[in-house]
Amino acid sequence: MCKSRIEKATMSVRGVSSADWDVKKQKLRVEFDPSVTSLDKISKSIARVGHDTDKNKADDKVYEALPPCCHYR
């Protein structure tokens, strides 16, 4: 479930052409047009759906609402 949620949040950002979340490595591979978007915008989109990033922390209420299998903290 977290893979789908993270990829969907990433792909919702205008300028992102692909997103692949590696569950085991907890790494996201993203292809995007830097003239259209930025890593900061992508990071904020992921945090809004409940997942922390190196740049942004998810709101605690949103994080706690995630299924237990998606908790990474």
Q: What is the mean pLDDT of residues 1-7?
A: 94
The whole-angstrom distance between residue 38's C-alpha and the CA centroid of its chain comes to 13
| pLDDT value of position 1 | 84
**pLDDT surpasses 70 at 73:** no
pLDDT tens digits, residue range 15-57? 999 999 998 998 999 999 999 999 999 999 999 999 999 999 9
Name the band, by pLDDT with cuts 50, 70 and 90, for residue 72. Answer: confident
The whole-angstrom distance between residue 55's C-alpha and the CA centroid of its chain comes to 11
| pLDDT value of position 67 | 93
What single-letter amino acid sits at 2?
C
Joined tokens for residue 48? 């809004």
